[in-house]
């Protein structure tokens, strides 16, 4: 039986075909073609933006209950189909099946959360400084949003960008990441099945040219991008030229500080989860483990034992704990950084070799590297794989300085039993998110998400912070 999907764009409520020069292979078994894909371009983006612009007046002026009901139904459908969607996600991206199903449920809950937020687009009544004058503010939809999504969370991130945009009355043109269009396409089908009107959500599949066409389009009023710093900088420049609003999430080199007073078992669990699960392909992964002298050697030995025991294999195997990298390019990148760290004086405590598997896939052996210093490339550049390095420091103050010593500032963590150090770290670490005795990679969907420094630009994503980006405030004066 051929399980290969044949994907089309979604434009104005219809599937629009095109040439299919691309194919998506299963990272766990590269013999399997998961999907054949069209290669869209400026023409498809023009059609999608025109459809979104046409759909905007009716969608933005509809009762908020209409928008709420559509998103709630979509969330229900996503969660009802968690097994099939999770399996598709795992076949396409390489997450373990448990992770794929978990991410799918998260997407469903995001949709339902913003179904509620659609009913809470509130304003304020204020007294004017002038007698007899009334002032009111209201939140209004902005227009057409271009959403450029990454491959590492191929259903959750499309949901957390699209759901608030739609909830507050905007319309959408989305470009899914090149390696994972099938999962985003399945979400698009569910949105239409849930009752979204034609043109309110459009999906254009293709390479970087599609994203550039969205960024440059004069009728796209806002841009939300998740990806690399280099591409994000171009998105910001393109938005500035047109005075479009923009929101960027661009990765991290996240520190996890382990202090001498930490519970060792807890510290190992936190580091293992935050650094290695989801194949380390999370922008919030804790890739820098900053450990004080008194616990360093015990921590490294205990973590290395747990890392060496991780089971790497086919994403759909129930025994697998770490799936493959998403692509050959990502696998090569991971191993190149391991070589860079080794050549720079790092000590490979465990991992670093090739993975023996029953199927041809882009597997990477989870790797722990010790004896590194903060100036090494392994500690300055995002690897995006199951690779973590340790940095030995003498005390808390040095640990904090090292934690703050990169251009990134997305997530951060500390493991300690000291309330003093925990609270001080929360105040002084330069990161958008701080975890105390928790993995850096675990975030909730109903609170703001984002970083500082070069990790993020613009308003926060997710939760109650999303309204700041996806609406604009109007202030109205009237003389009674």
User: pLDDT per residue over 38-62, tens digit each?
Assistant: 999 999 999 999 999 999 999 999 9
E strand spans, 22-160 = 22-26, 29-37, 124-127, 133-141, 144-148
**How would you label 60-92 residue by residue, b for 16+ Cβ within 10 Å and e otherwise?**
beeebeebbebbbbbbbbbbebbeebbbbbbbb
CB 334 within 8 A of CB 364: yes
Q: Report pTM.
A: 0.96
Stretch 118-143: mean pLDDT: 94
Distance CA 193, CA 243 (A): 34
pLDDT of residue 20: 78
Stretch 90-96: mean pLDDT: 98
Average pLDDT, the chain: 97
Who's near 184: CB < 8 A, 6+ residues apart? 149, 154, 155, 158, 174, 176, 177, 203
Q: Which residues are marked as active site?
A: 249, 283
Stretch 346-373: mean pLDDT: 97
pLDDT of residue 1: 38
The pLDDT tens digits for 212-268 are 999 999 999 999 999 999 999 999 999 999 999 999 999 999 999 999 999 999 999
**Residues of the chain with pLDDT > 90: what percent?**
97
Token pair for 398 = 């040095």
pLDDT of residue 2: 60
Stretch 415-432: mean pLDDT: 98
Give me Rg for the CA atoms of the chain: 23
CA distances from 107 to 71, 101, 189, 247, 406 (A): 11, 10, 14, 20, 31
Stretch 363-388: mean pLDDT: 97
Stretch 179-184: mean pLDDT: 98
pLDDT of residue 112: 98
Q: Which long-range contacts (CB under 8 A, 24 or more apart) does 123-131 make?
A: 128/477
**How would you label 397-436 residue by residue, b for 16+ Cβ within 10 Å and e otherwise?**
ebbbebbebbebbbbbbbbbeeeebbeebeeebbbbbbbb
Sheet holding 5-6, edge to edge: 5-6, 29-37, 22-26
- Residue-level length of the chain: 480
**Residues of the chain with pLDDT > 70: what percent?**
100
């Amino acid at each position: 039986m051929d399980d290969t999907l044949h994907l089309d764009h979604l434009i104005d409520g219809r599937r629009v075909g095109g040439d299919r020069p691309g194919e998506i292979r299963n990272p766990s078994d590269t013999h399997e073609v998961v999907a054949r894909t069209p290669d869209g371009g400026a023409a498809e983006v023009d059609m999608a933006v025109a459809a979104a612009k046409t759909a905007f007046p009716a969608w933005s002026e509809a009762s908020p209950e209409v928008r709420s009901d559509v998103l709630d139904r979509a969330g229900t459908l996503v969660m009802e189909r968690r097994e099939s969607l999770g399996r598709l996600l795992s076949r396409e991206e390489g997450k373990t099946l448990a992770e794929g199903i978990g991410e799918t449920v998260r997407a469903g809950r995001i949709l339902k959360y913003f179904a509620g937020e659609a009913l809470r687009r509130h304003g304020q009544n204020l007294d004017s400084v002038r007698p007899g004058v009334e002032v009111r503010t209201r939140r209004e939809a902005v227009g057409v949003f271009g959403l450029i999504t990454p491959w590492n969370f191929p259903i959750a991130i499309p949901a957390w960008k699209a759901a608030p945009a739609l909830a507050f009355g905007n319309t959408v043109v989305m470009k899914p990441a090149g390696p994972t269009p099938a999962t985003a396409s399945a979400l698009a089908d569910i949105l239409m099945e849930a009752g979204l009107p034609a043109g309110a959500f459009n999906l254009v599949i293709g390479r970087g040219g599609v994203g550039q066409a969205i960024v440059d389009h004069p009728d796209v009023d806002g841009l939300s991008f998740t990806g690399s710093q280099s591409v994000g900088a171009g998105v910001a420049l393109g938005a500035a030229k047109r005075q479009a609003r923009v929101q960027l999430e661009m990765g991290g080199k996240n520190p996890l500080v382990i202090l001498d007073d930490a519970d060792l078992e807890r510290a190992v669990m936190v580091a293992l989860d935050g650094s290695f699960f989801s194949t380390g392909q999370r922008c919030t992964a804790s890739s820098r483990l900053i450990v004080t002298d008194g616990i360093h050697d015990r921590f490294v030995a205990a973590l290395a034992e747990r890392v060496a025991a991780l089971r790497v294999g086919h994403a759909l195997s129930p025994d697998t704990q770490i799936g493959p990298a998403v692509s050959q390019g990502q696998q090569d990148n991971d191993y190149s950084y391991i070589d860079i760290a080794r050549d720079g004086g790092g000590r490979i405590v465990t991992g670093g070799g090739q993975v023996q598997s029953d199927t041809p896939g882009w597997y990477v052996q989870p790797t722990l590297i010790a004896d590194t210093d903060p100036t090494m490339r392994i500690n300055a550049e995002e690897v995006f794989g199951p690779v973590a390095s340790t940095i030995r420091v003498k005390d808390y103050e040095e640990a904090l300085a090292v934690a703050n010593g990169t251009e990134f500032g997305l997530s951060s963590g500390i493991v300690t039993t000291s309330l003093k150090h925990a609270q001080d770290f929360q105040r002084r670490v330069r990161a958008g998110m701080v975890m105390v005795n928790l993995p850096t990679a675990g975030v909730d969907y109903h609170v703001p998400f984002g970083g500082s420094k070069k990790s993020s630009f613009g308003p926060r994503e997710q939760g109650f912070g999303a309204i700041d980006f996806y609406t604009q405030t109007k202030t109205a004066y009237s003389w009674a």
